[in-house]
Structure 1
Amino acid sequence: MKLHCEVEVVSRQLPALGMRNRGKGVRAVLSLCQQTARGQPRARGERSGPHLTCLFISTLKDKRGTRYELKENIEQFFTKFVDEGKATVRLKEPPVDICLSKANSSSLKSFLSALRLAHRGCDIEAPLSTFAPVKTSEFEKCKTKMVITSKKDYPLSRNFPPSLEHLQTSYCGLIRIDTRMLSLRNLRKLDLSHNHIKKLPATIGDLVHLQELNLNDNHLESFSVALCQSTLQTSLRSLDLSKNKIKALPVQFCQLRELTDLKLDDNELIRFPFKMGQLTNLRFLSAARNKLPFLPSEFKNLSLEYLDLFGNTFEQPKVLPVIMLQTPLSLLESSARAILYNRIPYGSPIIPLHLCQDLDTAKTCVCGRFCLNSFIQGTTTMNLHSVAHTVVLVDNMGGTEAPVISYFCSLTCYVNCCDMLK
């Protein structure tokens, strides 16, 4: 019976000697092994004679491992955070605390149950391990980080270690995402920069723990709606889409509300999503060297620490507004405004898909109401320091202002806010 995790063995005698433990765990393989009462390993198939169960801790530097007797030798279990893969086993002799972390929670619970049985001297139904030194391949199973930066090092005939939390495969010439990566359920950071990937599979959204995704310097032309509506909504913190060929992001992109760091430099963006202001956790935004003519009105709702919009093709604010008012309002316009204003749930099972898309792309008036096809469009300038603490100059002239497009649901709203457009 084995457990792969990080282990830190802390001596309780160190404080009395005025010494401190180094306080850092190492990857290890914990094994439950049996030996005869005389201290010899139990032979395979041997059933008779008294035997003891021991805990064997092996690390990559010490494959032969350290043995700890268990029978009537465990003073206490600390299992408050066992659901997070953490626990501590306090031994009587030697006086040490064995601190376990980064373990699979279900495997850890089973292992602790076996330790309790061994402490009581009871039989353990699970198969026990031998005293043979642990092989290097065993540590591959508990590897949490792998960095590959060339084609020749890319694994073609073997799988990625299932315990990986950080995987980088850069400069490997990948044209699509390897499906083996999508089975790494513990993955938190995925770096696929400097490849030739053209499309992202929707199954990336099945990586429920993914926090950082780096797709810098690929051939992407879009970011799918399916990814925006996946579990990435609650897990993704950092996204790097720099140096691709993306022209626009879907409106649903703003559902990735846990994003704090977004890089979009060197793409072909012609607009930001209308609902950009919904990214309330965003702190770092970089979209330099794109083709943005203006910013959406909800951009004003952002609260950034760093903003870089250098090298975009910002237009000068138009003096005259674009008037698209309907008199009277159509039934579609009136019902759409009512649904959005009253926050009535909608979806494709309830109304046709094209109507859902219309509602998703509805414009927000400065008064807080919504408009679909009946509106007045005006443009003004905004000092970017109003939304960001640190601002990179937008041009070589030292400017920090950018045009913002605003929408008005009625003539009344436009007249009341016309001073803003001057």
Structure 2
Amino acid sequence: MRLQCEVEVRSRLLPTCGLRGRAKGAHALLSLGRQPDRPPGRGGPSAGHSVYLMVCTARDRAGARYKLKENIEQFFTKFVEEGKATVRLKEPAVDVCLSKLKENIEQFFTKFVEEGKATVRLKEPAVDVCLSKANASNLKSFLAAVRLAHRGTDVEALPLSVLVPAKTSEVEKPKTKMIITSRRDYPLTKNFPYSLEHLQASYCKLARVDMRMLCLKKLRKLDLSHNHIKKLPETIGDLVSLQELNLHNNHLETFCVALCNSTLQKSLQFLDLSQNKIKALPVQFCQLQELVHLKLDDNELIRLPFKMGQLSLLRFLSAARNKLPFLPSDFRNLSLEKLDLFGNPFEQPNPLVPSIQLKIPLTLLESAARATVNYRIPYGRHLLPSHLCEDLEVAKTCQCGNACLSCFIQTTVTMNLHYVAHTVVLVDNMGGTEAPIVCYFCSLTCYSQFLDRYLQSNR
């Protein structure tokens, strides 16, 4: 049986000599087995006496070996550094050493194994073998076998390995970061290490996302900037740990709806789509509610997502040098630290010239849809046709707070961007920090009340 994890072997005799015993943990391969030159039943010692724990590291591939039978003084949990190596019982009122527990040890055993940490204290030599960053299920099985070896269980009943020196690949620390900045260095025949957490592949002339990258389940940061990618695969959403995605300077024209409905909703915090050819983002984009930093500069955006205000955690937004004529009405619900909308051809707002799409009386469909949204009546595709559900999801909100769908009055007004952001990059070269924002009105009454307030404020 073998286990890969980080190991630190501490001698308990060093402090008695006035020496420090703490060392930095190293990636290691642990093996539970018997001596290859002394097999049981061939003149060697009995099976129980030949079970050893071997620790191989990059510095010592041959490995240090520790006898196990009746040689384990104690099993520690992750709380060993906090002095919590005992269990206090109510009945009887005693403190029991962890290594002396029987039924109770199983519960405590599972608890620390789930975090991939354990410590085994040996009697001879007087060392503590501290394990960390191990696979929880593998660690649990490994320590169970170690306990059986300690109790003298027959060798044939244990899942043992031959104690031979470890391969270099088995004791090297898993690679968590890889940076590729040229086509020449891009791996064409080898897979990416599965342990990668940060992968950058820039200036590699990639026309598509390499499917091998989508197997990296531990990936937290993916940088594919400065390539020729035209389309994103839906399976990027399977990267459950992905927090940062950089697609700066590619040839993207759309952002896939499937990504907005994927696990990225709960993980993605940084997204850079700047210097692409995107004209619009889907309504579902605002389901990426963990976004903190969003860059949309130098695209061809003619509008921002309709429900932009749903990005409640968004703090940094830049959409400079696009083709935005105005901002969506939901934009006023944002709470940003920095906002950059420089270089957009914002239209001059004119509240006195509205776009009227109001029908009097309202259609039955409009009345029913407004009531569904206003009274928060549950709905779904199991109750309504999918196109009606989509209409309800993009319902507009009047100044009075009521909803409207296809019957409304639309106009634009000026909003000072400091209303939604602490720091605002100037909108134009004239020093302005104001931009037009869309307003919707569900009835003539609401629009008339707005006009009265607007005319009074401009007298």
Contact 1:325 1:375 survives alignment (8 Å): yes
Q: How far apart are residue 368 of structure 1 and its match?
A: 2.5
Q: Distance in 2 between matches of 1:402 and 1:253?
A: 22
Q: Mapping of 1:121-200 within 5 angstroms?
A: 121-122=152-153, 123=155, 125-136=158-169, 139=172, 142-200=174-232
Q: How far apart are residue 197 of structure 1 and its match?
A: 1.0
Matched, 1:352 2:385: yes
Q: Distance in 1 between matches of 2:195 and 2:42?
A: 34
1:350-379 CA distances to partner (integer Å, 9 max, x unpaired)? 333322322232212223322111111121
Contact 2:9 2:127 survives alignment (8 Å): no
Check 1:174–1:90 CA distance in 2 against 1; reply closer, same or farther (3 A cut).
same
Q: Distance in 1 between matches of 2:290 and 2:238?
A: 16
Q: Distance in 2 between matches of 1:364 and 1:339?
A: 13
Q: How far apart are residue 32 of structure 1 and its match?
A: 1.4
Provide the residue aligned with 2:273 in structure 1.
241
Provide the residue aligned with 2:116 in structure 1.
86
Q: How far apart are residue 49 of structure 1 and its match?
A: 3.4
| 2:161 counterpart SS class | coil
Q: How far apart are residue 45 of structure 1 and its match?
A: 11
Of the three residues 344, 361, 375, the one matched with 2:394 is 361
Q: Distance in 2 between matches of 1:46 and 1:149?
A: 58
TM-score w.r.t. the length of structure 1 is 0.87
Task: Say how many residue pairs are matched.
Answer: 414
Of the three residues 133, 151, 160, the one matched with 1:120 is 151
Contact 2:286 2:305 survives alignment (8 Å): yes
Of the three residues 341, 353, 357, the one matched with 1:324 is 357
Which protein shows a greater Rg?
2
User: Letter of the aligned partner of 1:189 in structure 2?
Assistant: K
Contact 1:74 1:89 survives alignment (8 Å): no
Provide the residue aligned with 1:30 in structure 2.
29
TM-score w.r.t. the length of structure 2 is 0.81
Q: Distance in 1 between matches of 2:29 and 2:279?
A: 51
Q: Distance in 2 between matches of 1:392 and 1:125?
A: 68
1:58-95 CA distances to partner (integer Å, 9 max, x unpaired)? 44455444444444325223164543x43131424534
* Aligned-pair identity (%): 61
Contact 1:10 1:99 survives alignment (8 Å): no
Q: Distance in 2 between matches of 1:48 and 1:65?
A: 22
Provide the residue aligned with 1:261 in structure 2.
293
Q: Distance in 1 between matches of 2:396 and 2:117?
A: 52
| 1:204 counterpart SS class | helix
Q: Distance in 2 between matches of 1:332 and 1:150?
A: 57
Check 1:162–1:340 CA distance in 2 against 1; reply closer, same or farther (3 A cut).
same
Q: Mapping of 1:266-277 within 5 angstroms?
A: 266-277=298-309
Q: Distance in 2 between matches of 1:110 and 1:350?
A: 49
Matched, 1:375 2:415: no
Q: How far apart are residue 285 of structure 1 and its match?
A: 1.2
Superposition RMSD in Å: 2.9
Residue range with higher mean Cα deviation, 116-125 or 387-396: 116-125
User: Letter of the aligned partner of 2:45 in structure 1?
Assistant: G
Q: How far apart are residue 273 of structure 1 and its match?
A: 0.9
Q: Distance in 2 between matches of 1:45 and 1:336?
A: 83
Please list every run of 5 or more consecutive structure 1 residues that lacks an aligned counterpart in the other structure.
none
Provide the residue aligned with 1:215 in structure 2.
247
| 1:252 counterpart SS class | helix
Matched, 1:386 2:413: no
Provide the residue aligned with 2:81 in structure 1.
none
Of the three residues 287, 303, 308, the one matched with 2:335 is 303
Q: Distance in 1 between matches of 2:318 and 2:7?
A: 40
Q: Distance in 2 between matches of 1:316 and 1:253?
A: 27
Q: How far apart are residue 341 of structure 1 and its match?
A: 2.3
Q: Distance in 1 between matches of 2:61 and 2:387?
A: 62
Matched, 1:340 2:373: yes
Contact 1:380 1:420 survives alignment (8 Å): no
User: Letter of the aligned partner of 2:144 in structure 1?
Assistant: S
Contact 1:52 1:121 survives alignment (8 Å): no
Check 1:175–1:232 CA distance in 2 against 1; reply closer, same or farther (3 A cut).
same
Residue range with higher mean Cα deviation, 213-222 or 310-319: 310-319
User: Which structure has more helix as a fraction of its residues?
Assistant: 2
